[in-house]
A = this chain, B = another copy of it.
């Protein structure tokens, strides 16, 4: 297995809301909703998704929580934060504050305001409208 990740798929309650948050709120590039021609049933998931094309070739996609549960054959259950976080690194301390502010303006919930952490970084966390965590990080040891 090559050590590579091509896509991160986030389970969401409302595709349109997630699309608006990432496209309009954070400014991520996307063709909008695709795959809407694939309608599922009790066992087969719908195909509707939105894919955001990130720098570096990685894709971020949003997919209905119920469809991901069917697609992966795992139980459907209410959203729960804290399973993972997405880390986004910026080039300065002020950059952390700016991104956190942008996310808040886009409708995110800031769970942990930016502050210095014991291991030498300055970071804060927000949750997207479905509770998924993003950590915005400035690490003075990294030259971006």
Chain A contacts to B: CB under 8 angstroms = 1-11, 26-29, 35, 38, 40, 44, 47, 52-61, 65, 68-69, 71-77, 79-90, 98-99, 102-103, 111-112, 117-119, 125, 127, 132-133, 135, 137
Contacts and interface: CB of A to CB of B under 8 A. Distances in A.
A60 to B, nearest CB: 7
A83 to B, nearest CB: 4
A3 to B, nearest CB: 5
A85 B83 CA distance: 11
A44 to B, nearest CB: 7
Contact of A57 (B56, B79, B87): B56
A51 to B, nearest CB: 10
22 contacts: A1-B103, A3-B29, A4-B55, A4-B88, A4-B89, A5-B86, A6-B137, A7-B137, A8-B86, A9-B84, A47-B118, A56-B57, A72-B111, A72-B112, A72-B133, A73-B111, A73-B112, A74-B81, A74-B127, A80-B80, A84-B84, A84-B132
A8 B6 contact: no
A26 B5 contact: no
Contacts of A27: 1, 3
